[in-house]
Amino acid sequence: MAIAAENQAPQEKASSEVSATETRRWTLNDFDIGKPLGRGKFGHVYLAREKRSNHIVALKVLFKSQLQQSQVEHQLRREVEIQSHLRHPNILRLYGYFYDQKRVYLILEYAAKGELYKELQKCKYFSERRAATYVVSLARALIYCHGKHVIHRDIKPENLLIGAQVGELKIADFGWSVHTFNRRRTMCGTLDYLPPEMVESVEHDASVDIWSLGVLCYEFLYGVPPFEAKEHSDTYRRIVQVDLKFPPKPIVSAQAKDLISQMLVKESAERLPLHKLLEHPWIVQNAEPSGVYRI
């Protein structure tokens, strides 16, 4: 039987109740399993209720055999290690995990309003107020991550969820994330969102997230990523050359274009820092100060 979203306990209270039981070993018997919320390459996500606290969560069920076949066990370990230690209103909580002989289970915060990607598809593109508000909330979350020496490296609409309380944006899927103690050379993330330094396989740092946020801002306002092309090779070329074009429709303000242009800069050190982004005139004039766009 599916658990209705309105049965969810207050977030702060429920979160602490779930967290309090993290020290013991979880099993599937601790949860009532509800409706499926989605499926991915390695498993499924279900709505679930933790029996002791009555807290509604999303239970991500991953099959060990598929993880091993694709050689992504290290990615999962990284996701668990990083996401379980992050506490920010715009980052999806990972409460804990457990496993059995065939599966690994991740206990995640339930974002009741689902994927931002679907909302963007439905709307085609967002208003400047909505786009600016989302960019502010993500910038704040990334400032927090970078302060913890974590680079996300895969910011895109598919990895953003809309929360249950007031429609707050949540960064999810930290499988590609890394601690920043070493500069990285590996290519990861989604093609349209890759910065030039990752396309060219040179060292990269936290500024890759600034580039991705610039791509995301563009997609919010235009409905398509800026360097999209029919062939992958053309997308790579456009990224490396920063072949940035602003179409006449939909109409987007000059200030918004200015912000995007300051983020999508080939030299990573010259990209607009996130704390400066929060002071940009387009952000100041358009974004909700709370960082929450109420749907």
pLDDT of residue 232: 87
pLDDT at 13 over 50: no
Does residue 250 have a cis bond before it (omega within 30 degrees)? Answer: yes
The pLDDT, as a whole number, for residue 152 is 87
Do residue 81 and residue 129 come from a single domain?
Answer: no
Q: Does residue 206 have a known ligand-binding role?
A: no
Count of helix runs (H) and strand runs (E) in the chain? 11, 9
Residue type, 210: I
What is the Cα–Cα distance from 117 to 128, expressed in whole angstroms? 17
Q: Are 99 and 152 part of one and the same domain?
A: no
Is residue 2 assigned to a domain? no
Round to whole Å and give the CA distance between 264 and 242.
Answer: 7
Residue 11 lies in a domain: no
Full DSSP string of 137-169: HHHHHHHHHHHTTEE----SGGGEEE-TTT--E
Angle at 240 between CA 253 and CA 134, to 5 degrees: 40
pLDDT digit string, tens, across residues 156-171 = 898 899 987 667 999 9
Is there a binding annotation on residue 54? no
For residues 59 and 174, membership in a common domain is answered with no
Query: Could you tell me if residue 207 is inside a domain?
Result: yes
Do 179 and 251 sit in the same domain of this protein?
A: yes
Q: Is there a binding annotation on residue 60?
A: yes
Whether the pTM exceeds 0.95: the reply is no
- What is the pLDDT at residue 292? 83
Q: Please provide the average confidence, as pLDDT, over all residues in the chain.
A: 85
Rounded to the nearest angstrom, the gap between the alpha carbon of residue 74 and the centroid of all alpha carbons in its chain is 19
Looking at the structure, do residues 40 and 102 belong to the same domain, yes or no?
Answer: yes
Q: DSSP strand E in the chain: where?
A: 31-39, 43-50, 55-63, 94-99, 103-109, 150-151, 160-162, 169-171, 178-179
Domains of the chain: total: 2
Is 258 marked as binding a ligand?
Answer: no
For 211-222, what is the mean pLDDT? 97
pLDDT tens per residue across span 99-147: 998 999 999 999 998 889 999 999 999 999 999 999 999 999 999 999 9
What's the pLDDT at 182? Answer: 37
| 102 and 217 together in one domain | no
For 206, the domain range is: 114-286
Query: For 21-35, 36-50, 197-211, which range has the lowest pLDDT when averaged over its residues?
Result: 21-35
pLDDT at 14: 47
Residues 185 and 202 grouped into a single domain: yes
189 within domain boundaries = yes
51 Cβ neighbours under 8 A, 6+ residues apart = 30, 31, 32
Contact 270, 294 (CB under 8 A): no
pLDDT at 269: 95
| pLDDT digits 0-9 by tens, 173-184 | 775 444 443 333
Find the helix or strand (DSSP H, E) in which 15 lies: helix 11-20
Residue 216 lies in a domain: yes
Residues 135, 277 share a domain: yes
Scan for tokens 């982004």, then name that residue. 277
Please enumerate in sequence order all residues whose Cβ is within 8 A of that of 258, keeping only pairs 6 or more positions apart, or say none.
Answer: 280, 282
Which residue's entry shows tokens 């309090």? Answer: 20
pLDDT digit string, tens, across residues 51-95: 999 999 999 999 888 888 878 788 788 878 888 889 999 999 999
**Residue 23 — very low, low, confident or very high, per pLDDT cuts 50/70/90?**
low
Catalytic residues: 154
SS3 26: coil
Is residue 88 situated within a structural domain?
yes
* Among candidate residues 78, 109, 140, the one where a domain is terminated: 109
**Digit-coded pLDDT (tens) for 240-286:** 999 999 999 999 999 999 999 999 999 999 999 999 999 999 999 99
* 155 shares a domain with 62: no
Q: How far is 147 from 140, CA to CA, in rounded Å?
A: 11
Tell me, yes or no, whether 12 lies in a domain.
no
Of 49, 83, 109, the one marking the end of a domain is 109
Of the pLDDT bands very low, low, confident and very high (cuts 50, 70, 90), residue 10 is very low
Say if residue 102 is in the same domain as residue 127.
no
The verdict on whether residue 17 carries a ligand-binding annotation is: no
Q: Among residues 59, 82, 109, which one ends one of the domains? A: 109
| Side-chain half-sphere exposure of 3, counting CA atoms within 13 A | 22
The one-character DSSP state at 269 is G
Q: Which amino acid is at 197?
A: E
**Residues 130 and 183 both lie in one domain:** yes
User: At residue 183, what is the residue type?
Assistant: R
CATH code, domain carrying 58: 3.30.200.20
Segment 226-245 mean pLDDT: 94
**Residue 187 and residue 134 in one domain:** yes
The pLDDT score that the predictor gives to residue 175 is: 56
Residue 18 lies in a domain: no
| Residue 159 counted as an annotated binding residue | yes
- Domain CATH number, residue 131: 1.10.510.10
